[in-house]
Structure 1
Amino acid sequence: MRDLLFVYGTLLPGLRLHAAMQGGLPRGPASCEGRLFDLGDYPGLRPGPGRVIGELYEVDDALLARLDAVEEYQPADPAASLYLRQRVAVQRRVDGATVQAWAYLYNRSAAGCARIPHGDYWRYLSERGG
């Protein structure tokens, strides 16, 4: 079965975990409501006002299971999970249509972490020089 996944951080093309997306079919740029935080080596999406920029992919159940491990999501123990895989409303940037897609939401407090105000991790890395 194929489904949609919204990615916004290190799974994006050109970034360090993108190889984990092998088998996913790119479906274009997208955004969702939320706040993006710099957690050090990776970003975290938390609910709240704002927009987060990313990419939409078509994925199958096997790829989602592999990504669950990468994102430290444990469906049987959500409280112990670093990220939770949840459905979010995603706006496709090509046509403005809103679709439902999976996304990995950071499952810890972001207190003390820098917010990425524009919600674009690629841009943030570019501005930081890396």
Structure 2
Amino acid sequence: MRIIVYGSLRREQGNSHWMTNAQWLGDHEIDGYELYSLGHYPGVITGEGQVHCEVYRIDAATLGELDALRTKGGEYKRQLVQTPYGSAWLYVYQRSVAGRRRIESGDWLLRGE
């Protein structure tokens, strides 16, 4: 199975250690989403933008760990999206982004602080 990540799970980011057993497949831009800063990590929602992501092949154990990290409390929900590497799970933010800063570039690494 595959997962698409856009923020703190990306290479050399704060939570990239969760991806230790994952196989990086490549970069990808997903259309129809907007990226927001939630403080120390981002969230994506459906919208009018494009978001820069990384696609990985993962095993069921890694997906279970990521679900525990991302979906507890209903903050994110997994959604299946298409990539050049096949379908992949994307964690979509489920709460309001009112008052949150949109990252216009769509790239968490270019967010500026």
Query: Shared fold (TM-score greater than 0.5)?
Result: yes
Q: CA deviation at 1:40?
A: 0.7
Give the alignment partner of residue 96 of structure 2, picking from 99, 103, 109.
109
- Taking only the aligned residue pairs, the percentage that are identical comes to 35
Please report the TM-score for the alignment, with normalisation by the length of structure 1. 0.81
Counterpart of 1:111, as a letter, is A
Partner Cα distance (1:98, 1:22) in 2:
19
Structure having the higher Rg: 1
Counterpart of 1:56, as a letter, is V
> Which blocks of at least 5 consecutive residues in structure 1 are unaligned?
75-79, 91-96
Is contact 2:81–2:87 with CA below 8 Å preserved after alignment? yes
Q: How do 1:15-30 residues align onto structure 2 when only pairs under 5 Å count? A: 15-30=13-28
Map of 2:75 onto structure 1: 82
Shift in CA distance, 59/98, structure 1 to aligned 2, threshold 3 Å: closer
Partner Cα distance (2:58, 2:66) in 1:
10
> Which blocks of at least 5 consecutive residues in structure 2 are unaligned?
none
Q: Secondary structure at the match of 2:58?
A: strand
Map of 2:107 onto structure 1: 120
Q: Secondary structure at the match of 1:30?
A: strand
Q: Secondary structure at the match of 1:117?
A: coil
Is contact 2:25–2:85 with CA below 8 Å preserved after alignment? no
Structure 1 runs of 4+ with >3 Å offset: none
Partner Cα distance (2:65, 2:108) in 1:
22
Partner Cα distance (1:89, 1:36) in 2:
18
Aligned residues: 112
Partner Cα distance (1:18, 1:98) in 2:
20
Please report the TM-score for the alignment, with normalisation by the length of structure 2. 0.92
Counterpart of 1:106, as a letter, is Y
Q: CA deviation at 1:24?
A: 0.6
Q: CA deviation at 1:89?
A: 2.5
CA shift digits 1:63-122 (9 cap, x unpaired): 100001111x15xxxxx41110111233xxxxxx37321010101011110100110001
